Chain A
Amino acid sequence: MIWARPAPPSSDKRWKMVEAAMRRHGYRRDALIEALHSAQEAFGYLEEDGLRFVAQSLRLPLSLVYGVATFYHFFTLKPPGRHTCVVCTGTACHINGAPALLGMLEREFNLRPGQTAPDGSLSLVTARCVGSCSLAPVAVVDRDLMGKLTPEQLHRRLQGCRRHDAG
């Protein structure tokens, strides 16, 4: 039976990172999650072409790959917003004000966790715990961890992101 390794979906250089991850694991079937991590890292999300490419490279059924990609909440199949806000909803953050942060985000930005603003400016996700419980409540905005956060501070920071985009 002749099986040929598929070509990447496009000439975009980022596919090389995905190929490198699969090669590092010898194209073994169990490299799936590592491959998906590299694709998400490279492109910000998992697109259909990427899933197909990984499935064919690792000789896996399409439905299995889709099933794995959607099981793990770290992976997203939708493009992220220009800015990402991760609100920690761990226990310590929960009793120290995380619900107020989420409430503000719903009122002022019309966003619930898992949603991206229609203009693509901001994605809101929750994390079950980022491990900085002493700084509760915590949110991570574009990889910056903000601790002992008040809704006003978060509001200001996100408005700042929007202004930065516009200006």
Chain B
Amino acid sequence: MTPDELQRAAAAERDAQRKFEHHLHVCTAAGCLSAGSGHLKQALEQEIAERGMHGVCRVKGVGCMGLCSAGPLVSAEPEGWLYGQASPEDVPDIARSLIEGRPVRRLLVPSDLPFFRRQLKVVLENSGRVDPERIEDYIAAGGYAALTKALSEMTPEEVIREVTASGLRGRGGAGYPTGLKWSTVAKAPGAEKFVVCNADEGDPGAFMDRAVLESDPHRVLEGMILAAYAVGARYGYIYVRAEYPLAVQRLRTAIRQAERAGLLGDRICGTRFGFAVEVRLGAGAFVCGEETALMASIEGRRGAPRPRPPYPAQQGLWGHSTLINNVETLANVPPIIERGGAWLAGIGTPRSTGTKVFALAGKIINTGLIEVPMGIRLREIIYDIGGGVPEGRRVKAVQTGGPSGGCIPEEHLDAPVDYESLAELGSMMGSGGLIVMDEGTCMVEVARFFLEFSAGESCGKCVPCRVGTTHLYELLNRVVRGEADAGTLSALEELADVVRQTSLCGLGQSAPSPVLSTLRYFRPEYEAHVREGRCLAGSCGSGDKR
């Protein structure tokens, strides 16, 4: 497809959409689907048809609108009404509200909520607006314009230059400069190179990548194709968790649609550049989010990491130079190419540019998916966007980075959200899971929870992680159960240091972080457990249920 053909297709779709006076957008991402939005959508379609309104009102399935705690969500355009917790029983009222021009009050979610106002959508700009199962919708919203622009006006080096200028850093958690990674792969010798999209989002409590894949799969594809063009790769893999069947299905549909439109395959957009993509399923191994383990999995082997260096850019899949990027990282690329790297660099902070998608969960009123500029304060996220803690309780800590991260206590909530600040506080940006905890949460128990997870996900290759995480878990178990003695805490700290410094991969190296971070800020809770067998939060009296 040439840029002109793309423009014409976009215009045609927009014209077709304008024929309708009303649009009802029903969220069909996994969260709302599991709350019944599939039935809701069917009921709406039926009601609209029965009322003879199908010529003026279009019912469309869209992706995640963010405020998951109010799901299932339906939005009405151009009225700009957002209905929450809608069910098939509400359908007649919803249809009537369009005719009468008055919203259904009991369902209405105020659109000027801080939850919405404080966000800045880049990665999620199409989420909740486009139908993830129609490429025409994506094109009408401006999709694939970046790709046609790059292929017709830019060299691969220029593409890399824009990404570098944007300051984009890996959104999977490590924060490695994306432009640098791309240029390393581009410069690596060898004719055969690969691009891999890491969609093995394994952090419990994180569902950002899942939402992006279910809500705007073409955006991720476009980012991948641009990456392949930039580094000279001809084949790519999207490695998705098997636990995300809807994302897998939507990706496969999107790939087929892109191939049919000449945006994937040989001679993309009529140029000599060719790129093909395949979806590969994970199979329940958190460690496969680690780059070398991910590659081992694609190669059909056990997901055991190998020492780095050499890095995937130097020696990747089957020995070839391989670019591995996270879903959110790739989703940032099309707007960077369209608007220029300097545009993204103008958002956020100098060293942490752009936005970050967070999955807000735990003891918070507004749970769901948010996207904020880097540098925003944690306090703003929790209180302004999140609406604070239910029942007026107080925030005790915010957990970021999942099992590789740490807990940030209430007194540090004015810290800006950027890579360096969170690391300094003993946590990390991570992939975006943000769990809020209140006074009823025992921080020792939180550390134990994460260690149980890490020990269970350890691949078993290296001694410190395989045995060390199990011992850390066992020691924490003793502390929680009040069976620890004076030596337990020092054994815990020493072992945590050894596991951190000597483990082979990031899983083992960061597995002790929850322990170290909670010891740093919540030591009294540990000591109360050890000395008095008492839980200061008053929650783990009954011990381990497993």
Contacts and interface: CB of A to CB of B under 8 A. Distances in A.
Task: Determine direct contact between A and B, CB below 8 Å.
Answer: yes
Interface of A: 28-34, 36-37, 58, 60, 64, 67-68, 71-75, 89-96, 99-100, 102-103, 106, 112-113, 127-136, 138, 145, 147
Given A72-B303, A92-B367, A95-B435, A135 B35 contact: yes
B330 interface: no
B419 interface: no
Given A37-B283, A99-B545, 9 more contacts: A37-B242, A37-B281, A72-B283, A91-B361, A96-B362, A131-B207, A131-B210, A138-B34, A145-B34
B289 to A, nearest CB: 11
Nearest to A103: B545
A59 B431 CA distance: 38
Contact of A72 (B35, B69, B284): B284
A81 to B, nearest CB: 18
Nearest to A104: B545
B205 A91 contact: yes
A128 B435 contact: no
Contact of B441 (A58, A74, A95, A131): A95
A100 B31 CA distance: 22
B229 interface: no
Contact of B449 (A91, A129, A132, A138): A91
A116 to B, nearest CB: 17
Contact of B399 (A34, A72, A91, A129): A91
Contact of B31 (A33, A73, A103, A134): A134
B286 interface: yes
| Best-buried of B69, B282, B283, B363 by chain A (most CB within 10 Å) | B283
A84 to B, nearest CB: 14
B30 interface: yes
Nearest to A28: B300
B204 interface: yes
A90 B284 contact: no
B282 to A, nearest CB: 8
B243 interface: yes
B106 interface: no
Given A133-B359, A145-B34, A89 B71 contact: no
Contacts of B446: 95
B300 A92 contact: no
Interface residues of B, number: 51
B545 A106 contact: yes
B127 to A, nearest CB: 15
A14 B224 CA distance: 35
Nearest to A75: B283
A71 B461 CA distance: 12
A95 B210 CA distance: 22
A133 B205 contact: yes
Given A33-B300, A68-B300, A92 B31 contact: no
Contacts of B207: 129, 131-133
Contacts of A37: 242, 281, 283
B10 to A, nearest CB: 31
Contacts of B31: 131-132, 134-135
| Best-buried of A34, A36, A93 by chain B (most CB within 10 Å) | A34
B295 to A, nearest CB: 10
Nearest to B246: A131
A41 to B, nearest CB: 10
A132 B246 CA distance: 13
A51 B362 CA distance: 41
Contact of B300 (A29, A75, A113): A29
Interface in B244-267: 244
A147 B299 contact: no
A135 B435 CA distance: 14
Given A68-B300, A92-B435, A132-B34, A74 B546 contact: no
Contact of B203 (A100, A103, A112, A129): A129
Interface string B297-316: 11111110000000000000
27 contacts: A30-B298, A33-B280, A33-B300, A37-B281, A64-B301, A67-B302, A71-B285, A71-B302, A71-B459, A72-B282, A72-B285, A74-B284, A75-B284, A91-B402, A99-B546, A100-B545, A102-B545, A112-B546, A113-B546, A128-B286, A129-B202, A129-B206, A131-B31, A131-B244, A132-B31, A133-B359, A133-B361
A106 B334 CA distance: 50
B243 A91 contact: no
| The 9 A-B residue pairs with the shortest CB-CB distance in the complex, in nearest-first order | A72-B283, A90-B204, A74-B284, A91-B205, A134-B68, A73-B284, A145-B34, A92-B361, A30-B300
A36 to B, nearest CB: 7
Interface in B318-371: 359, 361-363, 367-368
B204 A134 contact: no
Given A30-B300, A129-B205, A102 B546 contact: yes
Interface in B355-395: 359, 361-363, 367-368
B148 to A, nearest CB: 31
A5 to B, nearest CB: 18
| Best-buried of B286, B361, B446 by chain A (most CB within 10 Å) | B361
Contact of B34 (A60, A71, A135): A135
B210 A134 contact: no
B286 A132 contact: no
A130 B205 contact: no
Contacts of B217: none
B281 A34 contact: yes
B132 interface: no
Contacts of A91: 204-205, 361-362, 399, 402, 433, 435, 449
B522 interface: no
B408 to A, nearest CB: 15
